[in-house]
Structure 1
């Protein structure tokens, strides 16, 4: 904002003239003159700040209503641990649009479909850019990945590669054997834990991250080396998600960023370097393998059928350019964030609600028996023939979101009712067209991994519901309290006991 340009020029002129003047006095030393000069600059700065505040008070800026905070930190001390709950309470007081000062930043929050449409669809170019956190900048190569690249030609190119080509139906179908193999391994491991309590969150995370690593570089790593690298990668991603979920005061009070008081930037850079080193190892191995294959007369058709193979072979149809190593690593990193925590957390919420509503779980398993049968395992092509299972997972990822939505739009918004997505509502579109239900967002910044996330979640959930009975230990009741973070996790781990539904051992081998 321009404030008193003529005044600032005059002040600068007076400072320099005064500096020359005082140096003409013999009794004034250079250090003393510098001290006077510094004080004068400080006085002028305070004067300009006062002018700025006066201008802001006099300006007729139309802002929505909102609560008052305290100097310097705004409303930050009153947010609490579950920020989304605080936002809901404030919306009930101030309406569907209100302002909120957090630290030194001013936010405007909206909570109605009409306003969501205005922001995400009608004016989406205006709101297309994102304000990355310090942790996001540390992870995303300085905000150069698809999630945080500013809207423009480069972002459009990255989005087209990621959505239309990298995750085309043809490519996702080609990668299905990799996902299927990892799910079979998870079923086998779960069969070995039959009758004993297991952490459902760890099961979901391991299954999803194994599918992702397999799709990343399934055709690259040898068995022993691959197992070690995949284990390191799981640990690195798990740590990264924890760091990313930490609230960082430096994001709201920027002048504190240089101190990194909570160590978020330091820890994120360390975790990101760990992941980047793994990417470099795998890319180097794939390049070496490709060079060896070039000298062979024949090449198997399915060699390198994974994301890494696609990225290495990609050439833009318009420019003819290949992807840089940094761009390849950014694509892989985006899938890590977009595909692990979100999918595994949605799986956990669904299972928690199903165990709280055993009659709903029974109906979903009956549907699986009818569609898949007792002599077959679930395949991805079954997904669209399972409306009840699909209804379960459609409400689970949006569960807390439904609670913050207008009760006039959702009947019993706090209640787990898969039926709201069945019957006449079974075609409810979650691809960003229905603004009272946008679990993946909408507009230009809609979730880039929507297709892959939908496939992995539906396939994983339906498989484990079909293959196992699930019960809570000692008739315990799973809680539904939330923990705010990069994704809205359960506040406590979900513990359950799986038992096989079928006697056919080949299903579990």
Structure 2
């Protein structure tokens, strides 16, 4: 009997060894057939993380020149694929769009966006669809944008008059602070029926600082996101800073909602965005939005709604100040179409092709989001003959696409004329032409795409039309360095002297 048991044990051990060996052999054979895209080898354990540096969009663009338009990087224990050409972006964001419709659960989504309870980081599903639907219907869609056009005009008037006062005093205008103040008030009027900041000062500057800090910290490649087992150590101190910033935002948003609820009787028959969201928190699929979802949505609208458009306008003004011929050409077009006795109106914009070309060239040269917000594959898939594993993060290098010499002639030059004729004349930045996708594309395209384009064209056009623009202190070299984040900021905020060029009556209303 003892002999039989011994033989049985040996037989079981041999059987297990056989199946384990066969499993590994099959796995190796399977892997050999599943060819990953090319990419840098990286370091042990941390992979390619140390290669990215402080300007990941620039590093990834350089690596793509060596490894190709679809590039694979091992980032810690995670996989990441980077698309760096229009064709590669189209393959991921159109052909494979559904498979890449979710976001990875990273530190920004967890610590800033109420654990992905917002619209930007939420999983693709019923709650995200409800948030998107309500936002489009009541604020971001075409009809909603038309309904609050007067709000934009009034708030812009406040900004222009403040700039005239700075000019009278001989003081420079700090462009990003001015823009954030005006845009926050525009959005506040729509969401809350009131200006967020009554006067420009320390409170509005703190808001600007909070917006920039959120967009910058959320764009950092956190070690804990790519090596989850050590996330608790918070080696870069990112999680701690995010949690502190989140508390500040939560206090502000909670205060806004409490004050808004207390004044509900004043809006009888005239509901604003927040009234409508609170009244329609359920949909036909029985999906219900919590108060946390509503706060997270407000966070999206106030941060992305101010910072991305603000940075685009700031970059555009910096470029035209570097190129006086562009400023003169824009002034000539506007003087011919509008004259100097009134301000630019939104209805004028379709008649101003050179202004629209300046906006498109800025979207190309300085995309507000250099790397699209990350997506993650739900299932394994294949692209260009390469195998993409399940749970692979996707980054589309929008910055690299805008500077690709195979797509754009003299891509490092700021040349609005490239959009006035030829093959580029009909290119649209709304996500259908993958040569120019500043707002992304596909199901997860930025929900505020329409609003962003309207704000950039109207505000930038008004600033160009209303003023002459000069560098303070007699000029000098304009710093055009970038600071990486979810939004691409100027490293040195633009400060400028302005001189009114319209009739005094044009600034009154």
Give the shorter-chain TM-score range: 0.7 to 0.9
Larger radius of gyration: 1
Q: Does 1:215 align with 2:181?
A: no
In the alignment, is the contact (CA less than 8 A) between 1:345 and 1:487 conserved in 2? yes
Q: Does 1:501 align with 2:475?
A: no
Q: Indicate conservation of the 8 Å contact 1:403/1:414, yes or no.
A: no
What is the alpha-carbon distance in structure 2 between the residues aligned to residue 309 and residue 484 of structure 1? 36
Q: Does 1:73 align with 2:46?
A: yes
| Cα displacement (A) at 1:122 | 1.2
Residue by residue over 1:241-261, the C-alpha shift from the partner in whole angstroms, topping out at 9 and shown as x without a partner, is 343344432223322310223
Q: How does 1:85-484 map to 2 (within 5 A)?
A: 85-194=58-167, 195-219=170-194, 233-290=207-264, 292=265, 299=268, 303-304=270-271, 306-314=272-280, 318=284, 323-400=289-366, 401=398, 404=401, 405-424=403-422, 425-473=424-472, 474-484=474-484
Report the alpha carbon displacement of residue 345 of structure 1 after superposing the two structures with TM.
0.9
**Contact 1:229/1:278, CA 8 A, preserved across alignment:** no
User: Corresponding residue for 2:31?
Assistant: 59
Q: How far 1:348 sits from its partner (Å)?
A: 1.2
Structure 1: stretches of 5+ with no match in the other structure: 1-9, 15-47
Partners in 2 of 1:203 and 1:74 — Cα distance? Answer: 42
CA RMSD of aligned residues (A): 3.1
CA gap 1:242/1:210 in 2 versus in 1, 3 angstroms: farther
8 Å contact kept, 1:96–1:111: yes
* Deviation string, structure 1 residues 456-500 (Cα, Å, up to 9, x no partner): 111111111111100123231223332221212223222221111
In 1, the alpha carbon distance for the partners of 2:71 and 2:197 equals 55
> How far, CA to CA, are the matches of 1:132 and 1:152 in structure 2?
15
Q: Using CA pairs below 8 Å that are at least 6 residues apart, which structure has the higher relative contact order?
A: 2
Give, in whole Å, the separation in 1 of the partners of 2:341 and 2:323.
27
Indicate how the Cα distance of structure 1 residues 192 and 439 shifts in structure 2: closer, same or farther if over 3 A, else same. same
Deviation of residue 147 (structure 1)? 1.4
The whole-number CA distance in structure 2 between the counterparts of 1:107 and 1:238 is 26
TM normalised by structure 1 equals: 0.81
The answer to whether the 8 Å contact 1:135/1:264 transfers is: no
How far apart, CA to CA, are the structure 2 residues paired with 1:221 and 1:350? 26
Q: How far is the alpha carbon of 1:438 from its aligned partner?
A: 1.2
**Deviations along 1:141-200, whole A, 9 cap, x unmatched?**
211222122122332222222224442322222222222222111112211211433322
Residues 166 and 310 in structure 1, CA contact (< 8 A), matched pair in contact too = no
TM-superposed CA distance for 1:508, in Å, is 5.3
- Which stretch shows the higher mean deviation, 313-322 or 439-448? 313-322
Q: Distance in 2 between the 1:389 and 1:487 partners?
A: 22
8 Å contact kept, 2:431–2:437: yes
Distance 1:463 1:272, change over 3 A: same
Structure 2 residue runs of 5 or longer lacking an equivalent are 1-8, 14-19, 367-397
Give the TM-score, by structure 2 length. Answer: 0.81
CA–CA separation in structure 2 for the residues paired with 1:242 and 1:452? 22
Deviates more, 1:233-242 or 1:325-334: 233-242
